[in-house]
Amino acid sequence: GAVVSQHPSRVICKSGTSVKIECRSLDFQATTMFWYRQFPKQSLMLMATSNEGSKATYEQGVEKDKFLINHASLTLSTLTVTSAHPEDSSFYICSARREGNTIYFGEGSWLTVV
């Protein structure tokens, strides 16, 4: 079964509003989680590294004020897309590293901004 879960799997929001996506590690604690976005027929693009109890580390070109990441607990990281616009519509995927083990990915979340 899934070890990393995302919610919601699909969300539609109006342009200008904010939307939050949750990423949970189900049976392990994850000090670090990663957020990716993926456009159709393209590879995953790393957006940021989410660190529990501290600020996220963003990749070059990713607006940290637009994509707010909070990692308040060892099992939950959230990505908030603020003031969303149609160009933010994408597939967002999170992942978490199980300590001493491999990285597992969530099921992904489709965001459509209308």
63 part of the interface to other proteins, by CB under 8 A: no
Binding window for other proteins (CB under 8 A); candidates: 12-20, 65-73, 76-84, 97-105: 97-105
Rounded least distance, CB 5 to other proteins, Å? 10
101 part of the interface to other proteins, by CB under 8 A: yes
Binding mask 25-54 for other proteins (x = CB under 8 A): ------xx-x-x------xxxx--x-----
Specify the residue, 34 or 67, whose C-beta has the smaller distance to other proteins: 34
> Residue 60 contacts by C-beta under 8 Å, 6 or more apart in sequence?
none
Three-state DSSP string of the chain: CCCEEEECCEEEECCCCCEEEEEEECCCCCCEEEEEEECCCCCCEEEEEEECCCCCEECCCCCCCCEEEEEEECCEEEEEECCCCHHHCEEEEEEEECCCCCEEECCCEEEEEC
12 part of the interface to other proteins, by CB under 8 A: no
Binding site for other proteins (CB under 8 A): 4, 6, 31-32, 34, 36, 43-46, 49, 91, 93, 95, 97, 100-108, 110
